Chain A
Amino acid sequence: MTNPVRRVAFVAHCLLNQNAKVSEFARCAGVFSPLVGRLVEHGWEIQQLPCPEMSFLGVSRWWQSREQYDTAGYRRHCRALAKSVVDLAELHIAHDYDLVVIGLDGSPSSGVRLTSTKPEWGGRPEGAIAGGSSRRPGMGVWMEELKNEFEERGHPFPRATGIAMDAQDFDLEAALVDLDGFLDAADETTAEGARP
Chain B
Amino acid sequence: MRRVDQRSLRVVVLPDALVNPGSRLNGGDGTGTPDPLIAALVEDGWGFVKMPPHGLAATTARAIVETIAGDLVDYLRHDHRVVIVAVADLPGEGVWLDELRAALARWNTDLPPIARVARPATAAAIDAVRAA
**Which A residues are within 8 Å of any B CB, using their own CB?**
3-6, 8, 16-21, 23-31, 33, 36, 40, 43, 45-48, 50-51, 54-55, 58-60, 80-81, 83-84, 87-88, 91-92, 95, 97
Name B50-80 residues within 8 Å CB distance of A: 50, 52-53, 55-57, 60, 63-64, 67-68, 70-71, 74-75, 78, 80
Contact mask B1-44 → A, CB, 8 Å, 1/0? 01111111111000000011011110001110110000001111
- Name the B residues within 8 Å of A30 (CB-CB): 7-8, 10-11, 41-42, 44-48
Provide 23 A-B residue pairs closer than 8 Å at the C-beta atoms, listed in order of the A residue: A3-B30, A16-B48, A19-B11, A20-B71, A24-B5, A25-B5, A27-B6, A29-B7, A29-B10, A30-B8, A30-B10, A31-B42, A33-B42, A40-B33, A45-B19, A46-B20, A47-B50, A54-B74, A59-B78, A59-B80, A81-B67, A84-B63, A88-B56
A25→B2 CA distance, assembly (Å): 10
Q: Judge if B49 is at the interface, Cβ distance under 8 Å.
A: yes
**Which B residues are within 8 Å of any A CB, using their own CB?**
2-11, 19-20, 22-25, 29-31, 33-34, 41-50, 52-53, 55-57, 60, 63-64, 67-68, 70-71, 74-75, 78, 80
